[in-house]
Amino acid sequence: MGRDITNPDVLRVMGEIRREEFVPQAYQSQAYADGPLPIGMGQTISQPYIVALMTQELRVNRDCEVLEIGTGSGYQTAVLSKLVKKVYTIERFGQLSESAQAVLGRLGISNVEFYIGDGSCGWPRQRWDPILQRMAKWEPCFDRIMITAAVPKVPLPLIEQFTEGGFIVAPVGLSGVQELVVCEKKAAHITKRLICDVRFVKLLGEYGFEE
């Protein structure tokens, strides 16, 4: 990996998490190659270098609550889980989410909440209230958001769900090649910084690409 990944915590965590756990049997021999691999449902586990770069650019710390859109294999989720307080992750394919939940469970990772649905709409605005014993209204708000599939533009519900001083990292673009973008919210104003060109599968959904 090396290259421009200089954050020692990112390098350490990626050294600790066995990528082979997240890669289907047929691709085990390529688990440590620096490239994306198929994980089923026409989706991919991201290239390790891009996982490291996006994690570094998200500038997380131990106090962060992170929303991840596109659980996929759960590899990026696992990397984030070791660096932050809590990860909330959304995947549209139940089969991928369930498989990721099983792997993270096996690895003893317990600070992740999974949701199956359209992540372009953000985290659901209702959650179970254990005192009232019913679903209750919640205004979710995250310190960091990572989108791991290409978006035509950063979905509005996600801009609404991140805190002042927070960051969103996302591949943004209409064609096969996107720009990796870091958005920062300061004084209710969003600034954008471009990192590099990337290639991601599309985020399909209400605020993503049409299915």
Residues with catalytic annotation?
Answer: 46
Site for ligand SAM in 130-189 (CB under 6 A): 148-149
Tokens of 86: 């809590």
CB of 39 to ligand SAM, least distance (A): 6
**Binding to ligand SAM by residue 201, rule CB under 6 A?**
yes
Let me know: does 64 contact 94? Beta carbons within 8 Å. Answer: no
Pick 101 or 120: Cβ nearer ligand SAM: 120
Q: Name the segment binding ligand SAM (CB under 6 A); options: 27-35, 42-50, 131-139, 173-181.
A: 42-50
**Binding to ligand SAM by residue 93, rule CB under 6 A?**
yes
Pick 134 or 203: Cβ nearer ligand SAM: 203
Pick 172 or 203: Cβ nearer ligand SAM: 203
Rounded to an integer, what distance in angstroms lies between the CA atom of residue 106 and that of residue 126? 28
Partner residues linked to 144 by β-bridges: 66, 167
Ranges of beta strands (E only) in 9-161 are 37-40, 43-45, 65-69, 86-91, 112-116, 126-129, 134-137, 142-147
**Binding to ligand SAM by residue 72, rule CB under 6 A?**
yes
**Binding to ligand SAM by residue 99, rule CB under 6 A?**
no
Pick 105 or 165: Cβ nearer ligand SAM: 105
Tokens of 197: 């060109």
* Contact residue for ligand SAM among 57, 91, 123, 173 (CB under 6 A): 91
Q: Which of 42, 35, 38, 41 is nearest to 1 (CA)?
A: 35
Let me know: does 175 contact 187? Beta carbons within 8 Å. Answer: no
**Binding to ligand SAM by residue 70, rule CB under 6 A?**
yes
CB of 24 to ligand SAM, least distance (A): 11
- DSSP characters for 160-194? HTEEEEEEEEEEE-SSSSEEEEEEEEETTEEEEEE
Rounded to an integer, what distance in angstroms lies between the CA atom of residue 145 and that of residue 192? 14
Question: How many CB atoms sit inside 10 A of residue 157's CB?
Answer: 17
Pick 9 or 21: Cβ nearer ligand SAM: 21
Q: What is the DSSP letter of 157?
A: H
**Binding to ligand SAM by residue 120, rule CB under 6 A?**
yes
**Interface positions with ligand SAM (CB under 6 A):** 43-46, 69-70, 72-73, 75-76, 90-93, 96, 118-120, 148-149, 200-201, 203-205, 208
